[in-house]
């Protein structure tokens, strides 16, 4: 009798495992879908000439993208499906959307050079994501190789938002927009290292002044969102170049 019960229990457990294997976890994939929709909306907004809404939608996609992985880890619902779905969502939200919004806002006035800059950005994002996924097991978790696609998207989107917010027509900044867009695309596929901040402990205790500093940080961003965001992410992009210069300086010093 006990053997029969154990056998039935084993069959039930096996059925549960097979059932879970065929399904997907809803909660983390909801955030990924929200990020995907935000990127899709950014493209639609740009087509309709609503460039500020398109830029803001890309930042909203960044928030959802930052949440899906953390939710999956906290709820122990990481799956191969979720990782692949997240990469496809990133390609739309941080690869296609910024390039198309930039093209509709300013780059179209440059003719072939404009769509070339947009394509360099899109191709850079695709290659960046492919390289990241292929090097997960061997990459240094402290650093990213190449500018992360969300950061590149933030620079392009904040630049557009800043121009629109100040009433500057896109065609007047077309050359600058092309340089920024193409430059971000090249930085994504470069070997420049960037701090990943993956080892920050969000669950641990922190001093009270850290909470105050975070609150002040949010207040500063809200004073002039496009300018502050553009400045912060541009500084992050430049930080990788600073790391290269520091490494070069140390190597020269060691040889001497």
**CATH number of the domain that residue 236 is part of:** 1.20.120.1760
CA distance 127 to 200: 27
Q: State which residues form the domain around 209.
A: 25-248
Residue 19 in any domain: the answer is no
Query: Is residue 2 one of the residues assigned to a domain?
Result: no
What pTM did the predictor assign?
A: 0.83
Tell me, yes or no, whether 9 lies in a domain: no
Segment 114-124 shows an average pLDDT of 96
- 255 lies in some domain: no
Residue 253 covered by a domain? no
- Reported as a single tens digit per residue, the pLDDT across 11-45 is 444 444 344 445 677 778 899 999 999 999 999 99
Mean pLDDT over the full length of the chain: 84
The answer to the question of residue 132 being in a domain is yes
How far apart are the C-alpha atoms of 61 and 92, rounded to whole Å? 10
Q: How far apart are CA 54 and CA 46, in angstroms?
A: 6
Average pLDDT over residues 162-185: 95
CA distance 48 to 44: 6
Q: Does residue 5 form part of some domain?
A: no
Confidence of residue 222 (pLDDT cuts 50, 70, 90): confident
- Structural domain contains residue 157: yes
pLDDT tens-digit map of 79-108: 888 888 999 999 999 999 999 999 999 999
Q: Would you place residue 116 in the very low, low, confident or very high pLDDT band (cuts 50, 70, 90)?
A: very high
Mean pLDDT of 202-215: 74
How many domains does the chain contain in total? 1
pLDDT score at 5: 42
Q: Between 137 and 160, name the one with better pLDDT.
A: 160
């Amino acid at each position: 009798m006990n053997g029969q019960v154990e056998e039935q229990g084993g069959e039930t457990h096996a059925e549960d495992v097979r059932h879970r294997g065929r399904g997907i976890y809803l909660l983390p994939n909801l955030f990924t879908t929200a990020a995907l929709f935000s990127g899709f909306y950014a493209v639609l907004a740009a087509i309709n000439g609503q460039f500020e809404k398109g830029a803001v939608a890309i930042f909203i996609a960044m928030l959802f993208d930052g949440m899906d992985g953390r939710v999956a880890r906290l709820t122990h619902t990481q799956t191969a499906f979720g990782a692949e779905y997240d990469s496809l969502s990133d390609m739309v939200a941080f690869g296609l959307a910024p390039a198309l919004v930039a093209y509709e806002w300013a780059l179209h006035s440059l003719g072939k050079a404009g769509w070339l800059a947009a394509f360099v950005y899109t191709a850079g994002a695709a290659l960046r994501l492919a390289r990241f996924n292929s090097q997960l097991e061997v990459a240094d978790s402290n650093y990213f190789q190449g500018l992360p696609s969300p950061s590149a998207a933030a620079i392009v989107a904040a630049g557009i938002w800043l121009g629109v917010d100040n009433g500057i027509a896109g065609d007047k900044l077309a050359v600058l927009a092309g340089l920024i867009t193409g430059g971000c695309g090249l930085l994504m596929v470069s070997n420049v290292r960037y701090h990943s901040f993956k080892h920050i402990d969000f669950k641990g205790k922190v001093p009270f002044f850290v909470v105050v500093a975070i609150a002040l940080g949010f207040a500063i961003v809200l004073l002039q969102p496009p300018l502050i965001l553009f400045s912060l992410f541009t500084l992050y992009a430049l930080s990788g170049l600073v790391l290269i210069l520091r490494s070069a300086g140390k190597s020269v010093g060691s040889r001497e």
